[in-house]
Amino acid sequence: MKLAMEPVLKTQMELEAHEKECAIRYAAVQEKLDALDKRMWRLEAMIMGSTILVVAMVVTVFMGIR
C-alpha cells in the first residue's frame, strides 16, 4: 500500500509546486497589465484633449473667416 501512495504523494507535491510557480507568474502578469492599463488611460486622456483642441481650433478658424 505504501508503494502505491508514494507516486500519488510525489505527483501531489509536484502539482503544488507548479501551482505556486503559476501563481507567481500570474501575479507578475497582472502587475504588467495594471501598469499598461494606467498608460492606456493616460493615452486616451491625451487623445481626447488633443481632439477637443483641434475641434476648437477649427471652429475658431472658420469663425474668423466669416
Position 46 scores a pLDDT of 98
Tell me the three state secondary structure of residue 66: coil
Convert the pLDDT of each residue in 11-61 to its tens digit. Answer: 999 999 999 999 999 999 999 999 999 999 999 999 999 999 999 999 999
Position 4 scores a pLDDT of 66
Instruction: Sketch the domain layout of the chain as residue ranges.
Output: 1-65
- Report d(CA 54, CA 49) in Å as an integer: 9
Supply the pTM of this predicted model.
0.57
CA distance between the termini of the chain: 96
Position 3 scores a pLDDT of 65
Q: How many Cβ atoms sit within 10 Å of the Cβ of residue 28?
A: 10
Asked whether the predicted pLDDT for residue 66 surpasses 70, the reply is no
- Report d(CA 11, CA 48) in Å as an integer: 54
